[in-house]
Structure 1
Amino acid sequence: MATLSEDPGKRGNTFRVGFMNADRKRKTVRLGAMPKKKAENIRGHVDQLEACLFDGSAPPVKTAAWLADVGDVLRGRMEKAGLVGSSEKIVIPTLVALIDQYRSRPAWKSLKPATVKAITQSIRDLLLYFGSERRIDRITELAAEDFAAHLLAPKEAGGRELAKSTVLQIDNFAHRLFRFAIRQRFMDSNPFENAPRGNCLRGNNVFVTREEVAKVMAQMPNSEFRLMLGLSRFGALRVPSETNRLRWADVDWAGKKFLVRSPKTERHEGKESRWVPIFPELMPLLQERWDEAGEGEELVLPSIAKHPNNSGTVRNAVIRAGLRPWSRLFHSCRSSRQTELEQQYPTYVVCEWCGNSVNVARRHYLQVTESHFATAAQIPAQTPSATVRHGEPIAFAAMAK
C-alpha cells in the first residue's frame, strides 16, 4: 500500500510517496511542495498503480485519466521508480477523435444510408455544442442536460428548437457513443446515462379515421398517391422504405396477398420479407393502379419511387381536405391500422402482417381510441345489487340519492 510522507523545509513542507515495485523493493517518488489534499490524491492514484504492478491489470479509468494529465516531471519520476512505463499512458481523446474511432468500426459500414444520415446529424449537433477539441472526460452529466435543453430551446433564445422525438434520437446516439468510450476505458461513467432517450413515443401517434382518409384520398393527385396512402393506412406498410420496393410480381392476386420486402427488419433472420393480405380496402386501389400501369412496368409505384420524399404532397392533400395535418404522417396511419387489426385478429398474426414484434407494437403502435371508450360505456357494469352498512343491506339506488 502506498504511503505519504511529509518532510519539513525552510520554504515549506514537501511530500513524497512510497510504494513497492514489481521486485518487492520499496521505492519513493518525490512530489515537492504542494497542498496536502493534492498530495493525498496523488497517493491514492499511486496506490492503484502499485496494485496494477502485482496483478497485471489496467489502471482504473480515473487513475488512467489522471495519468494522462500528469506533468512530465512527475511522470518521469514515476517511470524512473518503475511505477509506470511509457506504454501505459492512456490519452483521453477529444470528442471528434472519439467519433472518428466510433465510425472506424466494422459495424459502421453495415449501417443503412438512412441510419448513417440520422447519426451524422446527431454528430453535427454534438460537435457544434461541445466543440470538436473538447476532451470527452470534460463532458459532465450537467453538460449533457444542458445540451438537451439547448436542442429543445426556441431559436429566439439561441436554441435549436428541435422536435422532442429528434432530441430523443440525438441523446440516444450520444449515450451509445459514450458507452463506447467506457468500453475503451476512456471513462468510467456515461454523462448521458440519465438523459431522456429512445424512439418516438406511442403518445405522438394520432388515430387516423377512415372518414379522414377518404377525404384525403379525394385530394390526391393520382392513383399512385392514393395507393401509397392506402398501403400505409390499410396495409400497415412503412413509407417509403416498403411501399417503394413493392413490385407487381409480388402481388398474388389469386391468393389475395402480396409480398413486402422490409429493409428495416432484413437484418433479422427470417424477417427479410412478409406476406400481407390484400384487405378489402386495398383491392380497389391496387386494381385502379394495375389498370393504369404501363406495359412492362415492374414497380407498383414507379413515379413515387423516383422521389422518395413525398410527405409534402400528402400533407398538402390533408390541408386541401380541410383537415389539420396530424403528427407522424405515415407512422400514425400504420399505427391506426395495427390498432384496428388488434380488435379482430390474434396479436401474433397482426404483428406478422405489420412486420414488428409484440413489445414494439405495445410500446410504439397500439392506441386507445375514442371508440374503445364508446364501446365500454355501452356495456352494463356487473355490480352487486346491494351492499351492507352497519349490518343492514343498502340498495345502490338508495346510495345514489
Structure 2
Amino acid sequence: MRFVGPDRTRRSVILGKISKRSATDLAGLIDRLNAANIAGTVPSDEDARRVAALPEVMHGRFAAAGLIAPRRAAKPATLGPFVADYVDRHPGKHLTVYHLRNTGGLLVEYFGAERPLRSITRGDADRFAAWLATSGRNGNRKPATVGRYLGRAKQFFHAAERDELIDAGRNPFKDQKTATKADKSRQRFITPEEARRVLAACPDAEWRLIFALARYGGLRVPSELAPLTWDDIHWPDPSAADPKDQAGWMFVRSPKTEHHEDKESRVVPLFGDLLPYLEEAYHVARPGTVAVVPRAAPRNGRKANLGTQMNRIIERAGLVPWPKTFTNLRASRATEIARDFPAHLESEWIGHDAKTAREHYLQVTGADFATAAG
C-alpha cells in the first residue's frame, strides 16, 4: 500500500499475503491515519482501537512508515515491586495489610523478587502450595493456614490481571483450593455449668463481663468488645411501648464484617444470662468511663491479647482450656440461639449468615441427645 506522507514523500506499507477484503480494510485505515497526520489531528477512537489491536509485526510496519508511533517495549512486571506496591496502596485495615505483607513476603521468598509475573504458571502455583505446607516455622502448616495464604496469593494475581500485567484468565492460583472445611475436632460446646465455674474463678467484674459477653452475648473478642461503650447499652425499660426497649438491647459494631453491606453493626438482646454481669460492671466502673471493657482496647496498634489470661482463669476453675477460647464461647451461644429461636434470629443476633453458622459455629451437644431420648 503506497501513500504520500505529510512531508510529500512516497511511503509504503507491505501487508503480506492477506485477502483482498482485509487489504481494502487496512488501506482505509492507512488513508485515515495519514489524513490525520497531515491535518495534525488525532485518529478517531475507533481507529485508535484498531491500531492498538494490530499484531506486533503489522504495528511495526505502520510505525516504520510514519503512520503511528512505535510501541514501547514494556519491561515485564516483576513480583517484588508489584507485591510492595499492592500492599502499600491497599485500603484494608492494619491486620489485613499485615497478612497481605506476610503472604507477599512468602511469594517473593519462593519465586524471587525479579521473577516476571507472566512467567509464573499453574504448575508453579502447585509447587508453591506444596512448599507452603512444609516450610512453616514449627514444621508443617495446617491445611487451613495454607488455604489462607493461597487465597491471598490469588488476590495478588487477580489484581495483576486487572492492571493488565498478566493476561486475563491467566491467574496461576485460580485453581488452588483456598477454603477448607471447619476442623470439627477443635469445636467445643461450653456447658452452662462450665460457664458458671469459669465466672466464679474470674478475678473481677470486668473479666466476668468479658467472659459473659462472649458466652452469653455471642460477641467477637476482642474486636467487638473494644468499640462497645456504655451509650451502646440500652437498659431494660418496663415503661417503654416497644417490647424491644422493654427487654433491653445493645448496639454492637462489627469491624470484621463492616466491609459487607448492612453488616457494620447489629442489635443484640440483653439476654437474661448476660444482664447481671453488665449491671455489675456498670456499677463498679469509674465515673466518666466510656468503654464497657477497657481491657479490650488496642495497645500500640495491636489487638488486645485477652486469650492468655482467660486460659489461666479457665485453669483456675479446674477446667482444661479448650481450643479457640473465645470462638467456642461465641459458638456455644450461637448453638443455643439456633436451638431456641428461628434461624434468622441466630444470624441477626450473632452476626453471620446461615452458611457460616452451619459450617463453623453450630454444634451437636450432649443435651441434644438427651432431649432426643426423652
TM-score for the superposition, normalised by structure 2: 0.73
Offset at 1:152?
2.5
- Give the alignment's Cα RMSD to 1 decimal: 3.5
**What amino acid is the match of 1:274?**
R
- Tell me whether 1:289 sits opposite 2:268 in the alignment: no
> Which of 99, 104, 111 in structure 2 is aligned with 1:130?
111
Please give the alpha-carbon distance, in whole angstroms, between the structure 2 residues aligned to 1:283 and 1:174: 44
Work out whether residues 151 and 160 of structure 1, in 8 Å CA contact, stay in contact via their aligned partners in 2.
no
TM-superposed deviation, 1:299: 1.0
The match for 2:173 is 192
Supply the AA of the counterpart residue of 2:86. Y
Give the partner amino acid of 1:94. Answer: T
Pair 373,103 (structure 1): closer, same or farther in 2 beyond 3 Å:
same
**Taking structure 1 as reference, are residues 354 and 127 closer, same or farther at Cα in structure 2, changes over 3 Å only?**
same
SS of equivalent residue, structure 2 residue 201: coil
Secondary structure in structure 1 of the residue aligned to 2:267: strand
Partner in structure 1 of residue 233 of structure 2: 251
Corresponding residue number in structure 2 for 1:227: 209
Q: CA deviation at 1:182?
A: 2.4
1:166 aligns with 2:145: yes
Q: Give the TM-score normalised by the residue count of structure 1.
A: 0.68
Are the aligned partners of 1:169 and 1:198 in contact in 2 as well (CA < 8 Å)? yes
Distance 1:160 1:127, change over 3 A: farther
5+ residue gaps, structure 1: 1-16, 26-51, 380-401
Q: Which 5+ residue runs of structure 2 have no aligned equivalent?
A: 1-14, 29-46, 237-244
CA drift at 1:84: 10
Pair 1:208 & 2:190 matched: yes
* 2:161 matched residue in structure 1: 182
Aligned partner of 1:218 in structure 2 is 200
- 1:397 — aligned with what? none
Shift of 1:172: 0.8
* Structure 2 equivalent of residue 139 of structure 1: 120
AA partner of residue 263 (structure 1): P
C-alpha spacing 1:216/1:85, structure 2 compared with 1 (3 Å): farther
Q: Which has the higher strand share?
A: 1
1:357 to 338, 353, 358: 353
SS at match of 2:340: coil
Which residue in 1 is equivalent to 2:32? Answer: none
Residues of 1 paired with 2:228 and 2:49: CA distance? 63
- 1:345-377 per-residue CA deviation (whole Å, 9 max, x = no partner) reads 11112211112222332333223334334434x
Local SS of the residue matching 2:81: helix
Q: Deviations over 1:292-344 (max 9, x none)?
A: 11111111111332551221111222334443332222222212211110111
Identity %: 36
Paired with 2:114 and 2:139, the residues of 1 have a C-alpha distance of 21
Structure 1 stretch displaced more, 326-335 or 200-209? 200-209
Query: Cα gap change, 1:282/1:141 in structure 2, threshold over 3 Å: closer, same or farther?
Result: same
State the AA in 2 paired with 1:265. Answer: T
Q: What secondary structure does 1:218 align onto?
A: helix
Who is 1:325 aligned against? Answer: 321
